[in-house]
Amino acid sequence: MADIYEQFGVRTILNAAGTLTRLSSAPVRAEVAAAMAEAAGRSVDMAALEAAASARIAAATGAQAGYVTSGAAAALLIGAAACLTGLSRTKMAGLPDAPPDKREFLVVRSQRNSYDIAVRLAGARLVEVGLPDRAAGAGVRDADAFELEDAITERTAAILYVARVGASPPLLDVTAVARKAGLPVLVDAAAELPPADNLTRFIAEGADLVAFSGGKALGGPPASGILCGRADLVMAAALQQLDLDVYDHLWRPPAGLIDRAAIGGPPRHGVGRVTKVGKEQIVGLLVALDLFLREGDGARHARWRAIVEDIAAHLEAGVAPHGIALALHGLDDTGDMPRLSLTLPPDRRGQAADLILAMEAGRPAVHVDQSAHREGVLTFKPVCLSPGDGAVVAAATLAALEATGLGDAEASA
């Protein structure tokens, strides 16, 4: 019988581009898929399931509490909502038209990005701080902690921080400023795994809430993510995400996630209700989190490294005669991701886009990282590939090189 995608007339792709949402994120492991299938066939109380998830996530992150969301963006939305409302049911009902007197989130200007729409959707208004001289190549500065401190007003509700290697100012300096002002820090760490240490690092550095993507290297379902942090804020986020169309006197939320006495009664449907998450996503994420921790950075890095080395080995003979250079990157640091770059000869750089389109139109279709294609570079990433895929990816790449007149498939190993 045709596989499920063939039945719907859709062909699958080999994804060497990385965990892109538009390419369906990373395929989940068999154990995750099996757990999701089993979970999908049963009924469960969603709040009870999220309470169980909270305990697991707390253990993995060192946070007081956690919550499984439909992605890191969803985690940012409900995390921002929590920062805006605290445990006020009136404020929850008011979002996204948050109290106009206290809805501003400070953010370092260089950290603005397309995903911060999630924070704005909750009702927050972003106020930019700093001047990214570094990004412009005009200087060395970006933003300093004192600039954030001086930008705090009575309208400031929180600080949004986007975690990245080299982010400035360091998170520790930002949380110190925030703590002094009594403000929460919401950290977008969506793509900061691995290294696995980052699961605990941002919490340890004083973040009040941290968002991770489940569908990236963590290996969870594409529509999954984690919000973890302070118990009161996670509770406020949960209250604005769960379906709470319930009678007050019949509401018995799980104590491990929701302190009924602290909230008084159920709020109405919150702003996070649009980020509904399925039970199978929650179960899949928890199983993936466990596998991610058990595999460890070293074994994961070795598995990924073997895949890109395999692609390189199968490409070598076919590309070398045509002046196409291969290079492996990220091999030394087990917290980094091994990658293979293919660089076209200087006079053929303009054909990188043709090559990409030929690969995507090929059989099988192969997608690569396009971010350096204007420099004639295609990058192969291993996260969404399986150990056996290297030879197939290489053969499809050589066929596309031949089709675009850049190489010949015959010389392939």
Ligand X SMILES: *Cc1c(COP(=O)(O)O)cnc(C)c1O
For binding to ligand X (CB under 6 A), which residues are involved? 21, 71-73, 113, 115, 162, 188, 190-191, 213, 215, 225
The nearest distance, CB 277 to ligand X, in angstroms, is 11
Residue 106: HSE in the Cβ half-sphere, 13 Å Cα cutoff: 28
Say how far apart CA 181 and CA 156 lie, in whole Å.
Answer: 10
* Of 164 and 349, CB closest to ligand X: 164
The nearest distance, CB 74 to ligand X, in angstroms, is 6
Say how far apart CA 221 and CA 28 lie, in whole Å.
Answer: 6
User: Over the Cα atoms of the chain, what is R_g?
Assistant: 23
In which element (H, E) is residue 180 found? helix 171-181
* Of 89 and 112, CB closest to ligand X: 112
The nearest distance, CB 355 to ligand X, in angstroms, is 26
The nearest distance, CB 214 to ligand X, in angstroms, is 6
Say how far apart CA 301 and CA 257 lie, in whole Å.
Answer: 35
Contact criterion met (CB below 8 Å) for 43 and 50: no
The nearest distance, CB 409 to ligand X, in angstroms, is 35
The nearest distance, CB 70 to ligand X, in angstroms, is 8
* Of 225 and 407, CB closest to ligand X: 225
The nearest distance, CB 383 to ligand X, in angstroms, is 13
114 Cβ contact list (under 8 Å, min separation 6): none
The nearest distance, CB 162 to ligand X, in angstroms, is 6
* Of 19 and 175, CB closest to ligand X: 19
* Of 185 and 352, CB closest to ligand X: 185
* Of 271 and 359, CB closest to ligand X: 271
Q: Of 190, 183, 212, which Cα lies nearest the Cα of 83?
A: 183
Angle at 238 (CA atoms; ends 237, 242), nearest 5 degrees? 130
Say how far apart CA 382 and CA 372 lie, in whole Å.
Answer: 17
Q: Which residue is nearest to ligand X (CB)?
A: 71
DSSP-derived letter for residue 139 is -
* Of 21 and 153, CB closest to ligand X: 21
Residue with tokens 């769960």: 242
91 Cβ contact list (under 8 Å, min separation 6): 84, 85, 98, 99
* Of 61 and 397, CB closest to ligand X: 61
Q: Which two tokens stand for residue 159?
A: 């600080």
Q: Of 26, 29, 35, 4, which Cα lies nearest the Cα of 280?
A: 35
* Of 113 and 153, CB closest to ligand X: 113
Q: Is 22 exposed, middle or buried (0-12, 13-18, 19+ CB in 10 A)?
A: exposed
The nearest distance, CB 310 to ligand X, in angstroms, is 27
